[in-house]
Structure 1
Amino acid sequence: MANPNSIVPAMEPPAGQTSNFVDPPYVGTKFVVVNCVFLPLATVAVLVRTWTRVMLVRSFQWDDYLMLAAFVLSCVLTGVTLEMLNWGLGRHMWDVPATYLSPWFLKLNVISAIFYCASTGFTKCSVLVFYMRIFPSRNFHLAVWSIVFIAAGYAVASILANIFSCNPIAMSWDATITDGTCMNRPVFYFANAGLGIFTDFATVVVPIPWLRRLQMPMRQKIAVGCILAMGCFVGIVSCIRLASLYTLLKSPDLTWATTDALMWCTIELNLGIGLGCVTAMRPFVRKYFPRLLGLSSASYGESSRARKYGHPLGSIPRSDNPGFDNSRGQGYSTNLTATLPGNESEEYILSPVEKTGKPAAGVEGILRTVEFDVENSSKER
């Protein structure tokens, strides 16, 4: 660095303070620690989710692509914000050379805001699209699409607002341009955070009315409810980030006040990615840690692979439960066989069914609930 006496600070020091370009006060260490903790957690969550969807479920859906995109953008955001530490982040502005602030710090600050807005948008849309695969209700889908529209809309609007925040655009980071106008960026961040908090809590609340309709044991319902409730932590972190943005709004010390704001952005984003992946990890837990779901290790066998869609067995029409065009009054009956783990012989797991839909007398079997598709079509002759 040049002679400290010849360096022009980015801001004149307040009364009683002097610029220190050699060993200034520094709070960037905590920012590095936060990135080293939360980004690896998000990485593990995404890897487990990807393994589950590709190797166990063998079905990589739109919500998985969206979450993967969010994670990649989060990694880019981490790289950009860590680079900002080399250009003044974590130090007071009067301890930062003016040539560091403009253009480098200001340009990286705009880039980080763009990647943050895009990543949070992908994260929320991923969780919402995942919900639509769980709950088939049309009303629920309409509610979810409404939130998707809001989350995606304000994410795109935020990206465009960051790009075109000044006229000319380069005025956002080039202090030598004086003929132009810029929006109040801290005020914009504050308003954007408020809308983000709304979508955070809406994402958690919207599936609750439909949760009780899931046909699963109460203990598993409670577990799913707890997973959804963990999403509230993201909303709480968003509220804390809002407080840090209020400090940024009031403080002219940009390089110092931005540190906490970016730190809570990192926590919120990576926590959202991690918790968003937890909702898709049930097959992984069922396969490798079945006791966490109250299952035996043998309950997740080969027969659980690749059942993407289905209907409860009870929905199939029988003579006592017509539901399709069944003019002959004949019921559906089936004998299913399966090879259980560790058993080389085929065993009947459903007893034969008579036309009345009742088990045949004298025949014992192991009753198992099975879901499968039935397509009924008629053809005029």
Structure 2
Amino acid sequence: MATGYLGALPPPPGVEPNFDDPPSQLSANIALHTVCLTAATLAVAIRLYTRTIVTKNKLGIDDFLCLFSYALTITFSGLMITCYQWGIGRHMWDVPALWIPGALKYFTIAQYIFQGLSCAIKLTFLFFFHRVFWAQTKLAYFIYFGVVFVVCSNAGLLFATIFSCSPVARAWNPMLPGHCVSPKILPYLSGGLNLATDLYIFALPMRPLWQLNMQLERKMKLVAVFGLGSFACIAGLVRLAKTPVLYSSLDASWNISEIAIWAVIEVNIGIICASSTTFPAFVDRHCPKAIRGPLARLWSYATSRKTTPTGSAKTTSGQCAAGPAPAQTWAPHDFVELSDADGASARKTISKGSDRVYEEQHA
């Protein structure tokens, strides 16, 4: 054991401080950040490639927000890994006391970045919904409300986080004279607001999707694509549920690491889900038929067993057909993109292969 160090916290009875090779979550967290960033990088690259090359759409506000979110998540991961190198992820008695200000400083800055990152991801979803459902006035009002609420709530949380201590530097150097608000307030407030806005954003497109004039099976497929955002909601819920771990003991450096794991998962899942609507068009362009065919059949089988209606089914032309409705599979060339001038007068549906409103063409 190295000598000359004083631990940040006295060890429990029977435990010797270990400053040389202590138990640490550093390696596991580096692996987690690497996997998450790799997946997010692929998702964003596919999104941009599909939008510009495959579907030949202009990049919109949602695409630039997604890029901004990606830049912030790289920054967030870099700061968190630096925190681990300063002792976060070790037990407090294995962290030299002199390291604590440095660890807390990087962690505090990472909190600031996380707040902005969470806001940017939510705005990516909201502006994407506006791009798709721009002709639906009522839904647009809910989207505008979501944008205002997300910006204001996250700005308020960021302001509260920055000025939770007076002076500000006392957040990472508790030896400075001054005071801080209770550390139990902001984590619960931030987690609760993030979860509430996640659920609000997740629910926004469900009603208009369900009202589309198409067969039930295809509706369910679209709901499934748009519903991938529920995974970010689940990660946010787990993070909120894990918040009491922060206060379960005085071993803050270890407890912080356990909570940060779910923060990393939450934001990267958000970026991946925000890009997922472009995946089908990418697969159609680049996946061999030997792979694409089984995937389409598997998707059709998984959805048609429970969603294909029986009896009389109404066709897209408004006529009734006897017998069970045939299973529908996605045909990427069945849709032609509307121009902005077509507006609300066109009969709309949504292609699973892109992220725009389309007009269905009939022979």
TM-score, normalised relative to structure 2: 0.78
* TM alignment of 1:205-220, pairs within 5 A: 205-220=203-218
Amino acid at match of 1:41: A
Residue 193 of structure 1: how far off its partner (Å): 0.4
2:109 maps to amino acid: I
Deviation string for 1:65-107 (max 9, x for gaps)?
11111111001111111111110011001110111111x1010
Instruction: Give, in angstroms, the shift of residue 120 of structure 1.
Output: 1.0
Contact 1:63/1:125, CA 8 A, preserved across alignment: yes
Alignment-derived partner of residue 240 in structure 2: 242
Counterparts of 1:202 and 1:45, CA distance in 2:
23
Residue aligning to 2:7: 9
Deviation by residue 1:177-220 (Cα, 9 ceiling, x = unmatched): 1x211122343112210111111111111221111233455443
Please say if residues 161 and 186 of structure 2, whose CA atoms lie closer than 8 Å, have aligned partners that are also in contact.
no
Cα deviation 1:165-185 (Å, max 9, x = unaligned) = 2111111112331x2111223
> Take 1:368 and 1:61, find their aligned partners in 2: how far apart are those partners?
26
The answer to whether the aligner puts 1:310 opposite 2:362 as a matched pair is: no
Measured after TM superposition, the shift of residue 275 of structure 1 is: 0.6
| Cross-structure match for 2:231 | 233
Contact 2:40-2:70 at 8 Å conserved across structures: yes
Task: Output one character per residue of 1:113-168: Cα deviation in whole Å (capped at 9) or x when no partner.
Answer: 11111111111111011111222211111112222222222221222222222111
Q: 1:203 to 1:148 in 2, by over 3 A?
A: same
Aligned CA-pair RMSD: 2.6
Task: Give the partner amino acid of 2:342.
Answer: G
180 and 287 in structure 1: CA distance in 2 versus 1, 3 angstrom threshold: same
Of stretches 258-267 and 284-293 in structure 1, the one that deviates more from structure 2 is: 284-293
**Number of the residue aligned with 1:269:** 267
Aligned to 1:44: 42
Distance 1:216 1:111 in 2: 48
**Equivalent AA in structure 2 for residue 76 of structure 1:** T
Partner of 2:120: 122
Cα distance, 1:230 vs structure 2: 2.1
Counting matched residue pairs gives: 312
Whether 1:155 aligns to 2:154 is yes
> What is the DSSP-based 3-state SS (H/G/I as helix, E as strand, rest coil) of the residue aligned with 2:110?
helix
Displacement of 1:277:
0.9
Aligned twin of 2:306: none
* Aligned counterparts of 1:192 and 1:160: Cα–Cα separation in 2: 12
Structure 2 CA distance, aligned partners of 1:187 and 1:8?
Answer: 30
Match of 1:20 among 1, 13, 18: 18
- Pick closer, same or farther for the CA change 1:130–1:255 going to 2, 3 Å: same
Identity %: 26
Larger relative helix fraction: 2
Alignment of 1:104-123 (within 5 A): 104-123=102-121
TM-score (normalizing by structure 1): 0.75
SS at structure 2 position matched to 1:279: helix
**2:124 is matched by which residue type in structure 1?**
S
Q: Which moved more, 1:244-253 or 1:211-220?
A: 211-220
Q: Which residue of 2 aligns with 1:89?
A: 88
Aligned to 1:137: 136
Shift in CA distance, 142/249, structure 1 to aligned 2, threshold 3 Å = farther
Structure 2: give runs of 5+ residues left out of the alignment. Answer: 300-328, 348-359
Q: Distance in 1 between matches of 2:178 and 2:23?
A: 34
The AA in structure 1 aligned to 2:204 is V
Query: How far apart are residue 310 of structure 1 and its match?
Result: 2.5
Distance 2:224 2:123 in 1: 20
Cross-structure match for 1:259: 257
- Alignment partners' CA distance in 2, 1:139 and 1:129: 15
Q: Give the Cα separation in 2 of the matches to 1:68 and 1:369.
A: 37
How much has 1:288 moved relative to structure 2?
Answer: 4.0
- Greater displacement, 105-114 / 277-286: 277-286
1:188 and 1:313 map into 2 onto residues whose CA distance is 47
Which residue of 2 is the match for residue 70 of structure 1?
A: 69
Contact 2:90/2:253 (CA < 8 Å) preserved in 1?
Answer: yes
Distance change >3 Å, CA 13–CA 312, structure 1 → 2: closer
Judge conservation of contact 1:248–1:254 (CA < 8 Å) in 2.
yes
- 1:98 counterpart residue number: 97
User: Equivalents in 2 of 1:313, 1:187: separation in Å?
Assistant: 50
SS in 2 for 1:113: helix
Based on CA coordinates, which of the two structures has the bigger radius of gyration? 1
Q: Pairwise mapping of residues 292-311 of structure 1 onto structure 2 (< 5 A)?
A: 292=296, 294-295=329-330, 299=333, 307=339, 310-311=342-343
